[in-house]
Amino acid sequence: MTVADSRERAARRTARRRSRIPTLFGLAGGLIVGILVCGAVFAPWLAPYDPTERVARPFLFPSSEHLLGTNDIGQDLLSEMIFGARVSLTIGIVAAAVALLIGTTVGVVAGYYPKRLGSAMMRGVDVILILPFLPLLIVLAAYLGRSLLNTILVIGVLIWAEPARIIRSQVLSLRSREYVLAARSMGAPDRWTILRHIVPRTGLLATGSFVRAVSNAILLEAALSFLGLGDPIQKSWGSTLFWAQSRGAFLTPAWKWWVLPPGLLIMLASLGFALIAFSLEERINPRL
Amino acid sequence: MTTMRRFASSKALTLVLMLGLMAAACGGEDTSSEEVSAAQAQAATAQSEAAAAQSEAESAQAEAEAAASALAQAQADLEAAQAAASAAMEGDEASQSALADAQAALEEAEQRAAATAEASEEAVAAAESALAEAEQMLDEAMMEQEAAAGPVTVRAAITGDEATLNPYTYISGFPGWNLLMLQYDSLMQLDAAGIPQPWLADTVSVNADLTEYSFTMVEGVTWHDGQPLTAHDVDFSVDYYINNVEASRFARDLRGVEDLVVTGDYSATFVLGSPKAGFELAALADIPIIPRHVWEGVEVPSEHDFGATNIGTGPYKLVEYVEGQSYRFEANPDYFRGAPAVEELVVIVFADDAGAQAAIRTGEVDVIFERIPPEQIPLLDAQDPLDIALGPEFTTQMINYDASKRPFDDVAVRQAINLAMDRQDIVDTVFLGAATVGSPGWIHPEHRSYNPSMIPVYDPAAANALLDAAGYVDGDGDGVREFDGQPMSFEIITNAPDSLRLRIAELTVEMLAAIGIETSVAAVETGTWEQAVWPEFNVNNGRNYDIAMWGWSAPVQADPLRLPQLVASIPMGGFLNLTGYASAEMDALSAALPVESTEAGRIAILLRMQEIIAEELPFVLLLYPDGAYVYDSSVYSDWEFIAGQGIVSKLSLLPPSARP
């Protein structure tokens, strides 16, 4: 065994160890997201009560019958948390999908036609990235009005710029690969080249962006709902916080069971997706 | 999470900024009058104690002097005795014993004198220190009193900006109008029972057919700039309001005024085109009198720059306004009813109720000029210096529907909705009992015009039967009734920032579902909601809603003679008739009410109108939230609750002797 040999082995070992951490993070993220998604899917069986029904006196403290007490009109808060996962995760995932759709389209087109069209589009992306984000979000949400669909649209429309940039840079490098050049020089139409050779190769990167976008969208939904700009009738974690705030729970002992649980759930959901995104990025782009 | 925290922190930052500003505005903390008077009393006792000690010391000194003179006497005695003894050299027994006696007496006298001197010295020292202490306490009390010599500053919280607070710029009916009226006066003023009493007017009299209201004015009232107030200012104000109708409720108050005849510098007569009962409450106690010398030539009052302050006759001058942040009112020491009890009133604009409540909990403000939400009443009351002022209020929570179109033009549908509403449930659930169940006849049970036979009935079975009988049946079995081939499915529009109203809307959805009417809540911005229900604040523009949650501010109900505005058909003067309701009998009664000359006759008409409202339901009144205001009793506690209006009025800030 030579010195060089052992050195090599040691290097390999550290590399392996290093690569194990992201995998662990990914597993943890997957576990968190898995539990939350299960909670959302099986909500009707898990939740002790119908969250839209007034089942007890308002402002009840936690008890064995209502583990997290009741809200301001006597709805069970635990059930509200469980059913809230449905709205919060749905908005997060659908809004991220909207963002990805816009982002991929813009990214691919701008990357494939980098000259005039591309640079014009990227200036648009720059504008979106430069705009102060939260005020814009609030103005848009207030202008469009409160509904589930509007919340999804507002969030989707605001977070597509980042995926667009990432995907464009990938497309820029893809379009100068030999097989793409070969296809083009043989007279393949652009649309065919894009759909056959470009888009499939951005898939992995897009997946990473998507998961990261979900994490963002969940936070944004919570922020909007908390500010009363979501639909306050929809039972999401953010709207639970809105009601807690507007009925004074932040000023009373009720914050422990009315403010903390939705806050923790929002944090967990966002963290879960962020961990998955982190480990995916390690895989896709090991230089990071 | 970061996003949320960013929001929270920006909110917190605003709050901190506001609090900082407020602290700066308030300067050093002033002591309350109680504290000062307590200190004064303490100083007084100390002083009298010191005086007692001094007199004690004096008497001790006198005693000591007496002892000293006794000593001198004894010494003289001794000397005499010694002389006698030496004279009687042979020393007979008697003189010997006399000498011994004298010596003993001298010793005794010497001892006594020493003891007394010591005691008197002690007493003097004690008296001196007591005196010094008393002086020090007195000084402190004086200093405190001086610090509070602009005696009390009260810091109040409101939850929305009210612009520059002149009669054309104030924003909300409450508390905007109430803050406006701290600077201005009207000819009459509501007393605690909500009944108008002469104010700037000395006497008010009305002729038999209710067309001429004559008044004489208090003489010697001056504007904030020192100019005298005369009947010519009243004349000018009335003309001004009538000729500048933009966004002013005062022009509405003065409808029907043909002329104001000035009969002297301090007397005038309103001449009305038609008899009008209740002109006192509707106009005389509502319109602020503005100074002719300031307002003359003002063309667009809402945009005119009146300089640093508004000139009124009221007990307070607005001395500082920071847009969106705060107002500072200074007492008018020359106020004609006597100087206000509160020297300075700082009104701080908070972003929301929660901010205001947090501020009063931590002592950053002393009173909140908004009703506090029901869930906070027991919590705030439990905190030590905080107290709650509770009373009936005439604001309302109600359901409006467009009664001019299908299916709400059918009385049966409106009656069914009325029967389906469990008002007690809403009061208990949403207001935790801190509200009064709504009378179906509109007028509050605590109001003097209330018709006691108006009992709300909750009977969903009867409501279902009513709808069945009227032909609104669920033909396709989906649980929703149909009308004219369409499902009875509507949107309930409400303003999202009012969370209690939003909750009432949610409960309404539930209750209407029980009678086969499907509804969903649309929570929108306040502007959007107003635009749908009351486009441009003009009922002639129609309505763009099916069902809406609505509420009127207190003055609409406080004056029962305004009822025609709500229920008369639109061409007949129903300019608050937001539901498009029309009824011939109601129109006739609405026309008769203002020309009825006797109080009994007016009450009779009002009772009948309530019956018709309960029967035909131009709207469904759900409840009247009770007024609850929180204040810090260690700062100021003389708040006057005007029935139906709450505590925000000049009465609260004037000394009790100046209140009507």
Tens of pLDDT, residue by residue over B260-281, are 999 999 999 999 988 887 788 8
Six token digits for residue A120: 């014009």
Q: Is B485 exposed, middle or buried (0-12, 13-18, 19+ CB in 10 A)?
A: exposed
* Closest alpha carbon within chain A to B373: A247
Q: Which residue has the higher pLDDT, B398 or B553?
A: B398
Using the predicted structure, report yes or no on whether residue B196 has a pLDDT greater than 50: yes
Which pLDDT does position B441 carry in this prediction?
92
Around B35, how many Cα atoms within 13 Å sit in the side-chain half-sphere?
Answer: 18
Which pLDDT does position A282 carry in this prediction?
80
Q: Do B429 and A58 touch (CB under 8 A)?
A: yes
Selected residue of B4, B13, B424 to mutate for chain A interface (largest A Cβ count, 10 A): B4
Q: Do A73 and B7 touch (CB under 8 A)?
A: no
- In this prediction, residues B86-95 reach a mean pLDDT of 49
Of B13-27, B221-235, B560-574, which range is least confident?
B13-27
pLDDT, tens digit (0-9, with 9 covering 90-100), for B324-355: 999 999 999 999 999 999 999 999 999 888 88
Q: Do B499 and A246 touch (CB under 8 A)?
A: yes
- In this prediction, residues B272-301 reach a mean pLDDT of 88
Which pLDDT does position B36 carry in this prediction?
46
Chain A nearest-CA distance from B1, in A, is 6
At position A279, the amino acid (one-letter code) is S
Using the predicted structure, report yes or no on whether residue B97 has a pLDDT greater than 80: no
Which pLDDT does position B14 carry in this prediction?
45
Which pLDDT does position B409 carry in this prediction?
92
Which pLDDT does position A205 carry in this prediction?
86
The string of DSSP codes covering chain A is: --HHHHHHHHHHHHHHHHHHHHHHHHHHHHHHHHHHHHHHHTHHHH-SS-TTS--S-TTPPP-SSSTT-B-TTS-BHHHHHHHHHHHHHHHHHHHHHHHHHHHHHHHHHHHHSTTHHHHHHHHHHHHHHHS-HHHHHHHHHHHH-S-HHHHHHHHHHHS-HHHHHHHHHHHHHHTTSHHHHHHHHTT--HHHHIIIIIHHHHHHHHHHHHHHHHHHHHHHHHHHHHTT-S-TTS--HHHHHHHHHHTTGGGSTTHHHHTHHHHHHHHHHHHHHHHHHHHHHHHH-TT-
- In this prediction, residues B515-532 reach a mean pLDDT of 90
Which pLDDT does position B80 carry in this prediction?
60
Using the predicted structure, report yes or no on whether residue A252 has a pLDDT greater than 90: no
Percentage of chain A with pLDDT > 70? 93
Chain B nearest-CA distance from A173, in A, is 34
Selected residue of B3, B432, B504, B519 to mutate for chain A interface (largest A Cβ count, 10 A): B3
Q: Which of A73, A74, A219 sits opposite B3 (nearest CB)?
A: A219
Six token digits for residue A69: 């007490």
Q: Do B361 and A252 touch (CB under 8 A)?
A: no
Selected residue of A53, A246, A252 to mutate for chain B interface (largest B Cβ count, 10 A): A246
Cα–Cα distances (Å) from B296 to B195, B229, B232, B312, B402, in that order, read 32, 15, 12, 14, 43
Phi/psi at A6 (nearest 5 deg)? Answer: -65, -35
pLDDT, tens digit (0-9, with 9 covering 90-100), for A55-67: 988 888 999 999 9
Q: Quick one: which H or E segment has residue B267? A: strand B267-272
Using the predicted structure, report yes or no on whether residue B392 has a pLDDT greater than 50: yes
**Which residue shows structure tokens 């033009």?**
B409
Please give the radius of gyration of chain B, using alpha carbons only, rounded to the nearest integer.
37
Using the predicted structure, report yes or no on whether residue B150 has a pLDDT greater than 90: no
Q: Do A247 and B499 touch (CB under 8 A)?
A: yes
Confidence of residue B447 (pLDDT cuts 50, 70, 90): confident
Long-range contacts of B647-651 (CB under 8 A, 24+ apart): B647/B367, B647/B369, B647/B389, B648/B174, B648/B175, B648/B178, B648/B179, B648/B369, B649/B178, B649/B181, B649/B190, B650/B181, B650/B182, B650/B189, B650/B314, B650/B315, B650/B316, B650/B340, B651/B189, B651/B190, B651/B191, B651/B192
- In this prediction, residues A25-47 reach a mean pLDDT of 94
Which pLDDT does position A147 carry in this prediction?
85
Running DSSP on this structure, what letter comes out for residue B247?
T
B502–A contact, CB cutoff 8 A = yes
Go through chain A and tell me how many residues it has. 288
B524–A contact, CB cutoff 8 A = yes
- In this prediction, residues B478-492 reach a mean pLDDT of 91
Confidence of residue A243 (pLDDT cuts 50, 70, 90): very high
* Residues of chain B found within 8 Å of residue A54, distances taken between Cβ atoms: 429, 510
pLDDT, tens digit (0-9, with 9 covering 90-100), for A270-279: 999 999 998 8
Closest CA to B397 of B500, B293, B512: B500
* Residues of chain A found within 8 Å of residue B503, distances taken between Cβ atoms: 72-73
Six token digits for residue B116: 């007394």
Using the predicted structure, report yes or no on whether residue B33 has a pLDDT greater than 60: no
**Average pLDDT across chain A, whole number:** 88
**Average pLDDT across chain B, whole number:** 83
Using the predicted structure, report yes or no on whether residue B250 has a pLDDT greater than 50: yes
Confidence of residue B109 (pLDDT cuts 50, 70, 90): low
Helix count and strand count (H, E) for chain B: 20, 21
Cα gap A94→B354, rounded to integer Å: 33
Phi/psi at A258 (nearest 5 deg)? Answer: -110, -30
Q: Do A248 and B354 touch (CB under 8 A)?
A: yes
Do the bridges between strand B267-272 and strand B257-264 make them parallel or antiparallel, or are there none, so unpaired? antiparallel
Residues paired with residue B401 on neighbouring β-strands, in sequence order: B547
For residue B297, how many other CB atoms are within 10 A of its CB?
A: 6
Which pLDDT does position A276 carry in this prediction?
93
For residue B16, how many other CB atoms are within 10 A of its CB?
A: 11
Q: Which residue has the higher pLDDT, B648 or A204?
A: B648
Six token digits for residue B285: 């106690």
Selected residue of A59, A140, A148, A233 to mutate for chain B interface (largest B Cβ count, 10 A): A233
* Residues of chain A found within 8 Å of residue B6, distances taken between Cβ atoms: 134
Using the predicted structure, report yes or no on whether residue A284 has a pLDDT greater than 80: no
Six token digits for residue B201: 């007017």
Percentage of chain A with pLDDT > 90? 47
**Which residue shows structure tokens 């300019």?**
B575
At position B349, the amino acid (one-letter code) is V
Which pLDDT does position A176 carry in this prediction?
87
Q: A with B: how many residue pairs have Cβ under 8 Å apart?
A: 81
* Greatest mean pLDDT among B96-100, B301-305, B543-547: B543-547
Confidence of residue A22 (pLDDT cuts 50, 70, 90): confident
Using the predicted structure, report yes or no on whether residue A218 has a pLDDT greater than 60: yes
Which pLDDT does position B8 carry in this prediction?
43
Confidence of residue A267 (pLDDT cuts 50, 70, 90): very high
The pTM is what?
0.69
Which pLDDT does position B115 carry in this prediction?
65
Six token digits for residue B296: 């003359």
Q: Which of A74, A146, A270 sits opposite B496 (nearest CB)?
A: A146
Whether the predicted interface score ipTM is above 0.95: no
Angle, in degrees to the nearest 10, between helices A199-226 and B2-26:
30
Which pLDDT does position B124 carry in this prediction?
65
Q: Which of A72, A223, A246 sits opposite B4 (nearest CB)?
A: A223
Which pLDDT does position B7 carry in this prediction?
42
B511–A contact, CB cutoff 8 A = no
- In this prediction, residues B532-553 reach a mean pLDDT of 91
Confidence of residue B60 (pLDDT cuts 50, 70, 90): low
Which pLDDT does position B311 carry in this prediction?
93
* Closest alpha carbon within chain A to B510: A53
Which pLDDT does position A8 carry in this prediction?
73
The answer to whether A123 touches A181, Cβ cutoff 8 Å, is no
Using the predicted structure, report yes or no on whether residue B558 has a pLDDT greater than 50: yes
* Residues of chain A found within 8 Å of residue B358, distances taken between Cβ atoms: 251
Q: Do A73 and B361 touch (CB under 8 A)?
A: no
* Closest alpha carbon within chain A to B499: A246
Q: Which of B354, B502, B503 sits opposite A245 (nearest CB)?
A: B354
Chain B nearest-CA distance from A220, in A, is 7
Which pLDDT does position B348 carry in this prediction?
96
